[in-house]
Amino acid sequence: MSDSLHQSLVPVVSAMPEMKEDICSVDDHSIRSISFCPNVKEVMDLIEQSILANKDLSSKTRSSLLSKCFKVPATAGLLPESVDPEDTILCTLGKKFGKIKDVTKMLTILDDRNMPFIGGSNGPNGVLLDCQSMTYGFNRVNLFHITPYTSLILLKDYMGFRDRSINQIFNAFCTKLCSKYDTTKFSEDMNKDYELVGNMFTLVKDYIRIKNVSLESCGVGCVSFCQTWMRKGEKPGDAQFSVMSPHFQNRFYITHREKLIQKCGITEEMEEAYIRVIKYFTESMKEYGTIEGGLQSFINCDELLSSEILVKINH
Judge whether 122 lies within some domain.
yes
pLDDT value, residue 8: 45
pLDDT value, residue 99: 87
Judge whether 12 lies within some domain.
no
Mean pLDDT of 250-277: 97
Judge whether 187 lies within some domain.
yes
Judge whether 169 lies within some domain.
yes
3-state secondary structure of 126: strand
Judge whether 16 lies within some domain.
no
pTM passes above 0.75: yes
Judge whether 7 lies within some domain.
no
Are the C-beta atoms of residues 85 and 77 closer than 8 Å to each other?
no
Q: Which domain holds residue 170?
A: 22-287+294-314
The predicted-structure confidence for 16-67, as pLDDT tens digits, reads as follows: 445 568 999 999 999 999 999 999 999 999 999 999 999 999 999 999 999 9
Structural domains counted in the chain: 1
The predicted-structure confidence for 144-202, as pLDDT tens digits, reads as follows: 999 999 999 999 999 999 999 999 999 999 999 999 999 999 999 999 999 999 999 99
CA 226 and chain centroid, separation? 7
Judge whether 10 lies within some domain.
no
Judge whether 61 lies within some domain.
yes
